[in-house]
Amino acid sequence: MHHFTYQNDILHCEDVSVADIADAIGTPVYVYSHATLTRHFHAFDSAFDGVERLVCYSAKANTSLGVLKTLCDQGAGLDIVSGGELFKGLKAGFRPDTIVYSGVGKRIDEIDFALNSDILMFNIESREELDVLQERAKTLGKTARIAIRVNPDVDPKTHPHISTGLKKNKFGIDIESAMETYAAASRMDHVAIVGVDCHIGSQITQVHPFEEALQSLIELIDRLKAMGIDIRYLDMGGGLGITYRDEQPPHPTEYAAAIRKALSGRKLCMVFEPGRVLVGNAGILVTRVLYRKHAPSKEFVIVDAGMNDLLRPVLYGAFHDIRPVVRHADPDEMVADVVGPICESGDFLAQMRSMPAVVRGDLLVVMSAGAYGFTMSSNYCSRLRAAEVLVTGDRYAVIRERETFEDLIRKESIPDA
């Protein structure tokens, strides 16, 4: 459930007209709903009532400070994958002891930053990374709390680019090697084993893959216990899907029921790293129609948002619903490609889409754009990255100003001849 609804045929985010935002701020602009963010967080978090847990929002889905702060205020922890995300998370107010750090390629400067910040735990993805962490912790006089990210070889039945828990993926360590890596970690004097971790993929629309992964992790925890290694945190990663079109992902309560059942009373602190399920349907991308073009074989709607603003359609063939900001009774229907201004045929937001006919100047919104929208945007073709707005009730705030031409060259210089 989100808070983007038509009121008098004008799309509103909560109680603010999206048309008013577009007129005041310009387009393209990402618009997020505070009420939706908080509702999604509590729906997820409260599904686990009675289970000791830490819900660490996965920053990569949307790293805008305004969004981070909103979730932090609700009691979320943070899942990070880079020093930049740690920096932004700390700026937004997340407590270090609620931050978990995953990723196959942590650099030394990033490891040092996280050690010095005293984060809750590092999710280790290779034996070499563990050795480096021990060495850095020793150098800095710290103890690194770790979980090993296990690759349980589970098929999450999602897009191949966003599957992460299969043997062929670069993520995590297979279970048998993980046992050896835990044994090695237990002998390291600047490493404290605290958890077991996995993340099997994203946009998962069934409970079964999670159950399968959890079963493997529980077996691993039992084997570790037999070796004298006690595990406190079981990190299930993120991955719960959302509805973009007609997907029917499990509700968090269904997901939670499966987890409770598999835990069967074990005393573990569960960690979750949800991203998309919290922010995906809490954001839209608002764009204006620049031109209509009737080509011999197709209709094109050319808008001012491109693949640099929202990469998901071309990268994953992802479907995002497109709606008019102003709704008309009985509109003419058309079938069109909605495309951006970039010089690539992959620059589309929708292809062969049935939609109400639009004319130059109309506003459209791309729905479900709150996750992996702005964070995956770029300056390709020297386009300015979009503004971002956070709506709360009948008020809105610009949480990121639109970039300017000066921003495009801020870090550049021309060498002396």
Site residues for ligand LLP per CB under 6 A: 58, 60-61, 79, 102, 162, 199, 202-203, 237-240, 273-277, 312, 316, 371-372
**343 is annotated as an active-site residue:** yes
φ, ψ for residue 103, nearest 5 deg: 130, 140
Query: Which CB sits closer to ligand LLP, 25 or 55?
Result: 55
Closest approach, Cβ 17 to ligand LLP, in A, equals: 28
Query: Which CB sits closer to ligand LLP, 14 or 273?
Result: 273
Query: Which CB sits closer to ligand LLP, 62 or 392?
Result: 62
* Euclidean distance between CA atoms 151 and 197, whole angstroms: 9
CA dihedral 84→86→92→95, nearest 10 degrees, is -170
Considering 13, 72, 269, 343, which one is annotated as catalytic? 343
Closest approach, Cβ 217 to ligand LLP, in A, equals: 14
Name which of 85, 32, 92, 30 is nearest 60 in CA terms: 85
Contact 61, 276 (CB under 8 A): yes
* Three-state secondary-structure class, residue 181: helix
Please, how many CA atoms are within 13 Å of residue 170, restricted to the half-sphere of its CB?
A: 6
Query: Which CB sits closer to ligand LLP, 263 or 315?
Result: 315
Closest approach, Cβ 275 to ligand LLP, in A, equals: 3
Query: Which CB sits closer to ligand LLP, 28 or 274?
Result: 274
Exposure letters 339-362 (e unless 16+ CB within 10 A, then b): bbbbeeeebbbbeebebbebeeeb
Question: What is the 3-state composition of the chain as percent helix, strand, coil, each rounded to the nearest 5?
Answer: 35, 25, 40
DSSP characters over 108-126: HHHHHHHHHHT-SEEEE-S
Q: Catalytic residue numbers?
A: 343
